[in-house]
Amino acid sequence: MASRVAGPEIERPGLGPRSARRAALHLIRKREELLGPLADAMRVANERILVCSACGNIDTSDPCTICRDPRRDAGVIVVVETVADLWALERASALSARYHVLGGVLSPLDGVGPKDLNIEGLLARLGEGGVREIVLAVNATVDGQTTAHYITDVVRPFAVKVTRLAHGVPVGGELDYLDEGTLTAAMRSRTDF
Ligand SMILES: [Zn+2]
């Protein structure tokens, strides 16, 4: 079973997007037994939602469930753009580490600079010591890669290992069918074989 990524008020409704419509119909048919309690759970979640002051995750406790989990490797921080990305990686059980949510990516054209992202918070965590590796799990977009390069530069004084996801080439995928951005990213992130 996947480890819990959030407190019970968030996990309790447990609806995935794929089954949402069928679930909605089911709830409407069983309003008394199901819809009422679900509405209560959502009201409680609405009242208790907090942003983790350490990593930027959304939870009902601060620090969040992930930051408080002693089984996770506190020496590895996975840097993501959004909470949705964090939850996606958790669903994939990619790594039992901690996270840092940037709150977006650098985007000069949209006027998003370093001060608009939670980069200071990341540097503060590195300053506390104990972190050996940062995994840059940003998207393979131009802005994502710009952000990855920027972070690589600003964390250099802390002498932590910086790694990134090997983007792009799907299992069984033929290079011929991939777009150039994907290929370039895959080439840049090549690892020892
Ligand atoms: Zn946290």
Q: What is the CA radius of gyration of the chain?
A: 19
Q: How far, in Å, is the centroid of ligand 1 from the Cα of 189? A: 28
pLDDT, tens digit (0-9, with 9 covering 90-100), for 13-72: 555 666 677 877 888 898 889 888 889 988 988 898 999 999 999 999 999 999 999 999
3-state secondary structure of 188: helix
Sign of the C-alpha dihedral computed for residues 85, 91, 94 and 100 taken in this order:
positive
Q: Which residue has the tokens 């506190």?
A: 74
* Angle between helical axes of 119-127 and 142-154 (0-180°, round to 10): 30
Query: Between residues 166 and 76, which one has the greater pLDDT?
Result: 76
Q: How far, in Å, is the centroid of ligand 1 from the Cα of 59? A: 8
Q: How far, in Å, is the centroid of ligand 1 from the Cα of 15? A: 22
pTM of the entire predicted model = 0.70
Q: What does residue 76 show for φ and ψ, rounded to 5 degrees? A: -125, 125
